Amino acid sequence: MFLLRGCFRILVSQDCWRKLEGSFLLTSNPRRVVFYLEGPNPGIDLLIDSVAIACEQKVGMTSSPNIVSNHDFLNGLESWHPNCCQAYVTSGNSNFLNGVKPLSGDNYAVVMRRSENWQGLEQDITDKVAAGLKYNVTVFVAVHGDLHGTTGVQATLKLENDSSLSYVFIERIVVSQDCWKKLEGSFSLTSKPRRVVFYLEGPDPGIDILIDSVAIVCEEVITYRVSSNDEDISNNDEHIVHNPQFEDGLNNWSGRGCKITLCSSLCNGKILPVKGKFFVAATERSHNWNGIEQEITGRFVRKRTYEVTALVQIFGHTNNAGVQLTLWVQSPNGREQYIGIAKTQASDKEWVQLQGKFLLNGVASRAILFIEGPNPGIDILVDSVVVRRPIKAGSSVPPITEVDSEDANVIRNVSLTDGLNQWNPLGSCKLSICTHPQSFSPVEYSLSFYQPQNKRYILTTNRTETWMGPSQIITNRIKLHITYQVVAWVRLGSGASGPQNVNIALNIDNQWVNGGQVEANNDRWYKIRGSFRVEKKPSKVVVHAQGPPSGVDLMMSEAQILPVNRKTRYKILKEKADKIRKQDIVLKFIGFHEDLSGASLKIHQIENSFPIGACISRSNIENEEFVDFFLKNFNWAVFGNELKWYHTEPQRGHFNYKDADELLDFCQKHGKQTRGHCVFWEVEDAVQPWLRSLSNIELMKAVQNRLKGLLTRYRGMFKHYDVNNEMLHGSFFQDRLGKDIRAYMFREAHHLDPSAVLYVNDYNVEDGCDPKSTPERLIDQILDLQKSGAPVGGIGIQCHISHPVGEIICDALDKLAVLGLPIWLTELDVSAVNEHVRADDLEVVLREAFAHPAIEGVMLWSFWELFTCRDHSHLVNAEGDINEAGKRFLALKNEWLSNADGKIDASGEFKFRGYHGTYSVEISTKFKSISRSFKVEKGDSPVVVIINS
């Protein structure tokens, strides 16, 4: 136990208030911290009026991130640019000017051959600053040259917009010859320009500027209050919402386009408050967005996670309705953003909890939290709204996922040699065992459709419900956290007319789980392949076949449920990946002054050229940590919503390309390739209301305008386009404009931008769970488009997948590969609460993609918490902590880098086998070390790379 007392003390007199001020700093985090006031002699009463403890987090050079890249010039002039002059970095005493030694480290920058006062050294800091924040600048500078007396050195910002250029003075100091001085200043941007450049200037022409180090850090001061009750201050409950339980009436609350009323009860006492004395009713609502709101401007900090919890109910002429928590934010430059925090189905019978999280990447000049959602005329009742910092969840525990090799199949009596033992009819149907008149041979039907090999099958008759079929109880044979593959052969019998869905389902404690699904007919046997996983110990698990309507007989053969052995699969995939992603490489060293034969070398791969990208949004690039992770780990990008039609033209004739323009500028600046997602979206729910209201003639004209406007504006800028998203699942444009409209979209897009590769893009193609979206159906769709002249250039598989099985994914990819088109996983995410399980699932998909020759790239559908489309699918937590799934992703990327070392042979060559991408090589001779870089492109093997002197 450690006791620290006497932090600060003050002298006071009788009945006179005095202000006690002091500060403290903890060097470690103890189990418990208690603050108290003490001191007067016994018998003297201590009067306390108020207590405040404020955490002053001043960002400085040592404790907060420096946004300047290569701030101490350890990497030469990397990230720096001499403005109409020349510069170099000293290295060693021999290069120090006039004996001027660096203040710290081994070098400094010298800016020379200056012919104007404004010439100096600059760095682009656009993506590292935000409007509304204060930045402190610290630079150590000196001057050298023919100087008599002193001169000035100045720090300046250059702000560039599309049509204007301005300069912001930061600070200027007077310096003398060969003497280091410290320049300190600060700046703040009222709005974010298109480009921000920091530079140093000032001395007369001919005078060199010496720069030892540069620091620009953001200053944020965060204040916490001492709670007046027993709430733990370590939970960071910052009371962002005032009057959260309406104890102070309607104070701080208002109606958003409607009227709000304070209630103690409603409906003759049937509706009562839960937490306090009152609740609020939002009434006279004429629009869905009407509700109760509170402005919370200035009460929360950017890049911090907050959890919102509300109790809601509805009142009116409906039993249930969707209710939503939304945050409206306006940035200093006037940009508006709506952040959906949480949704729930509210009831008119009981209070339900509405809970979610939010994080704001940028600076907010205004912020309003509101509750909305039901149709006009429905009242929203709100019992309480609380916003606080969430309790940080502990790390996931890795589950045991070992697979037993013996007796692996969970299903018993698969071959039916023991009659119907273990099998039972689900419902009042009748089961019988039948035998085919002859054994089947694996005759190919179309694209990899075969017959079952077992002669016996279960015939289900007298089916009066769709869910009736053969079943088996497997409760005690299922292990938690294990991924199981489901395989079965099914066929329709008598009573069938046309294709019907057949499903292998699992009933897990009365919860239905899809184990695989297919659209079957009575013309042949169909193979079902699917998967599932159980995360909580069940009391009962039943597997059964189901699906056709009543009166249709169902046949099933060779049903299996097998635990997936991923480690065995990974060995196979590693061998496949090495064959298709690596090449034999010969380095030839030419033109060197000395004989390099026998010289040692080390080869390090800097980046694998296999495309791995991620989804980003306009708000993401205001978060410095997000940008840093993205730039380091991805080489492609796709925009979440900013290019979609409902975003670029939300109302007819009102266009918003600003967000897409800024994202594209960001990607081009950092050398990231981009996919265009998407030109059209065939699912009706994704079509904006004004489009749905058009006549067919007007709709066709709108389609033509969309194609011309988008493809012309961004001609040559997007490498790929998803032309008409999810055509297997939607048919809005086809229903309204005819079958040829889809091919027309492809033909016209190619005409307007011939450089872009045009993709089909759909979901559920890879996992066997959706009969609408099979590889066979996608192949038929592509062939049909090509017959109509559509220049389909690639296949996009979204891959929003759960409990993936590598063999099922590979089977789907093999089928699609027969078309000879490049395949991309365009929107990959996996979802699991346990981070280790999520990591395992992500590894399955990435290894399958990397090892398949038809896959030419992978895009993750975001990676940052609160900015993913599925919960529990992120790799990085909202405030920048990399979780287990993120660590596995980085480990795989590192595994896919090749390194080699050895000696150059007598002919001046060195041979090794490595992945495609960028490399560096270090050659050590008797006299010096030589560094070079080279790139290996996909081509004939071996690849010969010339390394010149």
Active site amino acids: 726, 827
Sign of CA dihedral 317, 318, 324, 325: positive
How far is C-alpha 749 from the chain's CA centre? 28
HSE (side-chain half, CA atoms, 13 Å) at 515: 28
HSE (side-chain half, CA atoms, 13 Å) at 467: 10
**Distant-in-sequence, close-in-space partners of 427: CB < 8 Å, separation ≥ 6:** 463, 464, 465, 467, 468
Q: Which of 701, 692, 749, 753 is nearest to 724 (CA)?
A: 749
Token representation of residue 366 = 């205004």
d(CA 642, CA 82): 35
Which strands, in side-by-side order, build the sheet including 259-263? 259-263, 279-283, 379-388, 305-315, 352-359
Q: Which of 201, 192, 206 is nearest to 170 (CA)?
A: 201
Please state, as a whole number, how many other Cβ atoms lie within 10 Å of the Cβ of residue 322. Answer: 14
Interhelix angle 741-752/696-713, nearest 10 degrees:
30
Task: Name the residue type at position 210.
Answer: L
**Distant-in-sequence, close-in-space partners of 45: CB < 8 Å, separation ≥ 6:** none
Q: Would you list the DSSP string of 293-322?
A: EEE-TTSS-TT-EEEEEEEEEEESS-SEEE
What's the distance, Cα to Cα, between the start and end of the chain in Å? 66
How far is C-alpha 102 from the chain's CA centre? 42
Relative to beta strand 511-520, strand 899-903 is: unpaired
Q: 3-state DSSP helix/strand/coil percent for the chain, to nearest 5?
A: 15, 35, 50
The H-or-E segment that residue 823 falls in is: strand 823-830
Task: Name the residue type at position 485.
Answer: Q
The residue behind tokens 């929360």 is 300
d(CA 308, CA 298): 17
